[in-house]
Amino acid sequence: MNTNLIHKIRTSFQETFKTEPLMIFSPGRINIIGEHTDYNDGFVFPAAVNKGIVAAIGKSDSKNSSIALAVDKNEIVKICLNDLKPSAEGSWQNYVLGVVAEIQNRSKTIGNFNIAFGGDIPGGAGMSSSAALENSVVFGLNELFDLGLSKEDMILISQKAEHNYVGVKCGIMDQYASMFGIENHALLLDCRTVKSKPFKIEFKDHELILINTNVKHSLSDSAYNDRRSVCESIASMLKVKALRDASEFDLESIKDKVSPENYQKALYVIQENERAVKASKAMEAGDLKTLGKLIYASHNGLQKQYKVSCNELDFLVEQAKLNGHVLGARMMGGGFGGCTINLIEKTETASFKAFVSEAYKNQFNKECSIYSVKLSNGTGIIQ
């Protein structure tokens, strides 16, 4: 955990609100495999990481309003608890407002509060800073006002906030991984039952690194909602609850009733769901070569079938393929920018970083950023 960040957020809260806060850390997440399967009731393989949101929160004496301070942006917003409505599209306030509104929708009473927060998740990296922020708010308010919410309740509140205030019809993976993460483990999560099986990550001579394209193409949110509606409409044509319940054989039966593009999107989801389960078996068997092949196949599907990649992501994956010491690479997250996740031999990491940084700069006249991450525990109080 980032001690400098914790100090910065605590100090900002103390200086602004003149009281001692409750301190919360809520992690971002990576997803080893299983992309765009969560809103299809499928399987995903995420892990919480040691980058995230630190929030300082406390009760307020104010009779009129609560205050949220985004320390990194140096922006402050007043929140009137009995007159909540979304802010402008794309503003950070909606993550906080949405959580408060969804808590109230459950007939829970909260008083006025002050919150200051900041993070070290790179923006637009596809590591779910939004879910980390939502979880930090709901977790903090649950503690402050003794709301009696379970962690399961909290992640559903965070998800609803994203649906109803942010306007992104996300699945449950991001909130779940951020809330329930276990140090040194990834979670094979069944998004229908919202139950997971932890897998201890022992990559031995290999490690995961993230390469951030440092681009975020504007398509992302609208394309995300569009993909979701395609999946729902094909599931409805197949008379199943979600694409998780369909096989390639089932999909073949309606091939002449859907566009070739939408057929490929549904096929990708069905195949990716199978890949996530196979990846968990490969990991259990310590078969990193098979895991790497599945990760490469996932990117191929995201690029060519689901069409949520972009030139920068594809370029980074192609560079990884040129290096025999990288077992697998793929785009991670919603798409159209953000990071690739790479499974690489530790002894080769330094030279690969240097090679790929130079190649990316030459190709796009832009820097990429490279991070190593550790797998962390989920949202909790900072002692």
Q: Which domains are delineated in the chain?
A: 3-199+376-381 (3.30.230.10), 202-372 (3.30.70.890)
- Here the tokens at position 346 are 């530790």
Percentage of the chain surpassing pLDDT 70? 99
- Is the pLDDT at 3 greater than 70? The verdict is yes
Question: How far is 17 from 12, CA to CA, in rounded Å?
Answer: 8
Average pLDDT across the chain, whole number: 95
**Would you place residue 219 in the very low, low, confident or very high pLDDT band (cuts 50, 70, 90)?**
low
Q: What is the pLDDT of residues 290-314, one digit of tens each?
A: 999 999 999 999 999 999 999 999 9
pLDDT of residue 224: 83
Please state the rounded mean pLDDT for residues 325-341: 94
In three-state form (DSSP H/G/I as H, E/B as E, the rest C), the secondary structure along 59-116 is ECCCCCCEEEEECCCCEEEEECCCCCCCCCCCCCHHHHHHHHHHHHHCCCCCCCEEEE
Question: How far is 360 from 314, CA to CA, in rounded Å?
Answer: 11
Question: How far is 282 from 288, CA to CA, in rounded Å?
Answer: 7
Question: How far is 263 from 246, CA to CA, in rounded Å?
Answer: 13
Q: What is the pLDDT of residues 159-177, one digit of tens each?
A: 999 999 998 888 899 999 9
Q: Output b/e per residue, 96-118; b: 16+ Cβ within 10 A.
A: bbbbbbbbeeeebebebbbbbbb
Residue 25 CA neighbour count, 13 Å, CB half: 21
Torsion of CA 73, 75, 79, 83, to 10 degrees: -90
- Is the pLDDT at 18 greater than 70? The verdict is yes
**Would you place residue 155 in the very low, low, confident or very high pLDDT band (cuts 50, 70, 90)?**
very high
Give the SS3 label for residue 49: strand
Reported pTM: 0.91
- Is the pLDDT at 33 greater than 70? The verdict is yes
Question: How far is 375 from 348, CA to CA, in rounded Å?
Answer: 21
Give the SS3 label for residue 159: helix
CA 221 to chain centroid: 14
Please state the rounded mean pLDDT for residues 357-365: 98
Give the residue with greater pLDDT, 216 vs 63.
63
In the residue annotation, 287 being an active-site residue is answered as no
Which element (helix H / strand E) includes 371? Answer: strand 369-372
pLDDT of residue 40: 96
pLDDT of residue 168: 84
pLDDT of residue 169: 83
pLDDT of residue 28: 96
- Is the pLDDT at 225 greater than 90? The verdict is no
Give the residue with greater pLDDT, 62 vs 1.
62
Q: Which of 174, 226, 256, 314 is catalytic?
A: 174
Percentage of the chain surpassing pLDDT 90? 87
Give the SS3 label for residue 13: helix
Please state the rounded mean pLDDT for residues 49-73: 96
Q: What is the pLDDT of residues 119-144, one digit of tens each?
A: 998 877 888 899 999 999 999 999 99
Question: How far is 244 from 262, CA to CA, in rounded Å?
Answer: 16
* Residue 336 bridge partners (DSSP): none
pLDDT of residue 220: 62
